[in-house]
A and B are shown apart, each in its own frame.
Chain A
């Protein structure tokens, strides 16, 4: 017990965590004193060796990883359980949402989805002046950042060009807050060029929003719709994701004797173990935890049968390079055609296996493949299918190298494109890069401007100035700075290579 006590004591006495953050970590430690859901020996061994990983979600899953309530339900019906009347004005609607967010569970305790805000709020905007709308959104935004300070909390807008979306984009650029994260749904047939330009101008200003490829996501889900939550996870609305077991492709590759062995034996073997890990966690959540007795289900905010499983994979770059080494080939992932083809073959094969493997208590009976963005403790691996930090080619070559993967990752995939700060003199370039990436099948366009204080780490935002402060031991108001600074120290994430202006000014012959 003394080891556990030491750990708990370290949490209670920590200099930088707030009491609320301490309570969260203490609860996690308590949960993890319980025995793990039943795993067979092979799964347990692979988990212990971290070939497969449970994202440290906890030993007794009593809530889904990500919950996406259909907030239109509470705006339309009010809530009997929460004793909320049906809202009639914009103030009442925003107030109702603010209350609803506190009843939205998630893996971090802070909601990862706060709704398709323009669809939700537009019906309440008749007779509200642009100035009033701007002021109310600004207060709403301040509330979200200060009360729910977590960059995994995610708002969605678009694809139409509308007053609420514009007000949100304006406020987001003005305040440059970490929270909420923001995604604009882009559909070339519906969205105006003007609203897309406004969104990409915001990226130049503050590295937000993400731009989602709406037609592709829309066709992946059903008429009840989808949301982009947390980093860039695409999930069914009125449901979410129960869990995300993830596969470390580097560890799988290390256990193969050849490329053929990898595809014929090692990869299918560990994929199956990862399915079983996920199913064991699902069984606990659905059969033991009593989560689905919640009023959220009774009142129709969520439905028991709309929760998917995100089948996470990461470290493709290292896996490909390991297999290349085994075969004595020099080409590296991201740069060499044969290496890239090997990566693509992995994606295709994994998508096929996921599509054909039934799971119980999962939306549509199948998991959804996800290119996982990494944890702050991943030291030698690169998120998802990304090209390693510091070695990425220019943004266009980057997109062309990775675009073919995007069709396979139905529950989310994202590359962070780093654009140097000269783009501030030429924001049209950001618009063009975005259009190009989406036209080439990117599910998501995400970019950082090299000099912005607000930057993306593995999908969530941090302020560079907060990392500096945190490392000087002052603590941080926002939850993700702790993760971000751990990531920056361990994974070299801030080495993500900005495009230097000198490369255009002094052209060198490409090899």
Chain B
């Protein structure tokens, strides 16, 4: 792509997040994902802008223009109506910006006293693996920042070789699984789950699987077969594996998945009960249902 390894395309940076790992975290949402989940609650982070320009006339605030064949975004004019996201034919966003390792290090420094750590999320963060590795390396090398924990929030679609590069500078991995049945996983995400399952094992083997997440969708991944596969897969990780049950909600979701049923609290509690009965002790359920 012609971008140096110390740069990445980001959709959003938050200096306050209490839902992306332990404590308050600086979160960088990188743009672009190698899955294409119907259930995605931020689908505009999936694609990467190809500068087709369809969004420019849709912008009523004159925040978008075309210059030199590229879509240019002016945040000063944007009133966040999100019409450009709705019209984008490839689930991308023109409202992204390039960031560098130095940018993030500076932000971390300004907010140091408030931060427990940094989380790189997405999109799929590991698609910009070299950037993450460079960022975490820089954090670990800075005496005033090295106590910040470095976490990656991933769909697990990364090869063993990728993990070899990333894990030595990573403190924790939060990994999302969308389903155990391979055909079901392919239907839900557009990819099979071989790499995902392997990634969970690699991270757990290194003692860095901070949290394993499972997205419960009624009639799809909350079936007896899926829950039983979940239990079998996690058993080798030990009873104190931190397991988060996410409930499928409509918030942010587009397209066909809007027709799917939302996951209700009772269903989540039923899965939790099955996991408790199987001996798992560290299960987190949603704090609220939207």
Interface residues of A (CB under 8 A from B): 394-397, 399, 419-426, 428-429, 431-433, 435-437, 439-440, 451, 501-502, 504-511
Contacts and interface: CB of A to CB of B under 8 A. Distances in A.
B16 interface: yes
Interface of B: 11-20, 22-24, 27, 29, 41-42, 45, 75-76, 78-80, 82, 93, 95-96, 111, 113-116, 251-252, 284, 287-288, 290
Contacts of A425: 19, 284, 287
A216 to B, nearest CB: 15
A172 to B, nearest CB: 22
B204 to A, nearest CB: 21
B41 A506 contact: yes
A436 B287 contact: no
Contact of A508 (B12, B116, B290): B12
Contact of A436 (B42, B93, B114): B114
Contacts of B23: 426, 428-429, 431-432
18 contacts: A394-B16, A397-B16, A421-B288, A422-B19, A426-B18, A429-B23, A429-B24, A432-B115, A501-B19, A501-B288, A506-B42, A507-B11, A507-B45, A509-B95, A511-B75, A511-B76, A511-B78, A511-B79
A510 B290 CA distance: 23
A511 B80 contact: yes
Contact of B80 (A419, A433, A509): A509
B11 A509 contact: yes
Contact of B78 (A396, A420, A439, A509): A509
Contacts of A423: 18
Contact of A504 (B17, B45, B96): B17
Nearest to B40: A506
B2 to A, nearest CB: 23
Contacts of B288: 421-422, 451, 501
B45 A429 contact: no
Q: Is the interface of B mostly helix, strand, loop or mixed?
A: loop
A50 to B, nearest CB: 37
B112 to A, nearest CB: 8
A421 B287 contact: yes
Contacts of A394: 14-16
A509 B80 CA distance: 8
Contacts of B13: 510
Contacts of B76: 511
Contacts of A506: 41-42, 251-252
B272 to A, nearest CB: 13
B18 A419 contact: yes
A393 to B, nearest CB: 9
B213 to A, nearest CB: 12
A420 B16 CA distance: 12
B24 A504 contact: no
A453 to B, nearest CB: 15
A85 to B, nearest CB: 49
Contacts of A419: 18
Contacts of A508: 12, 80, 82
Contact of B251 (A428, A435, A502, A510): A502
B72 to A, nearest CB: 14
Contacts of B24: 396, 429, 432-433, 436
A435 B79 CA distance: 34
Contacts of B79: 511
A431 B290 CA distance: 26
Given A394-B15, A428-B116, 18 more contacts: A426-B18, A426-B22, A431-B23, A435-B114, A436-B24, A437-B114, A501-B287, A502-B251, A502-B252, A504-B19, A506-B251, A508-B80, A509-B11, A509-B75, A509-B80, A509-B93, A511-B75, A511-B76
A439 to B, nearest CB: 4
A437 B115 CA distance: 11
B208 to A, nearest CB: 18
A396 B19 contact: no
Nearest to A429: B18
A502 B14 CA distance: 13
B15 A396 contact: yes
Nearest to A435: B113
B12 A396 contact: no
Contacts of A431: 23
A327 to B, nearest CB: 21
Contact of B113 (A436, A501, A504): A436
Q: Which has the most chain B C-beta neighbours within 10 Å: A423, A428, A432, A437?
A: A432
Nearest to A436: B114
A507 B13 CA distance: 8
A18 B29 CA distance: 56
Contact of B16 (A395, A424, A440, A507): A395
A213 B23 CA distance: 21
Given A399-B114, A436-B24, A510 B16 contact: no
Nearest to B22: A428
Contact of B116 (A396, A421, A429, A437): A429
A510 B10 CA distance: 12
A437 B95 CA distance: 31
Pairs A-B, 9 closest by C-beta atoms: A436-B114, A507-B12, A439-B113, A429-B18, A509-B95, A436-B113, A428-B23, A506-B252, A396-B16
A302 B14 CA distance: 50
A424 B96 CA distance: 32
A504 B27 contact: yes
Nearest to B76: A511
A435 B111 CA distance: 12
Contacts of A440: 113
Contacts of B29: 507
A420 to B, nearest CB: 8
B58 to A, nearest CB: 15
Contacts of B252: 502, 505-506
The CB with the most chain B CB atoms within 10 A, among A394, A426, A439, A510, is that of A426
Nearest to B12: A507
Nearest to B114: A436
Nearest to B111: A396
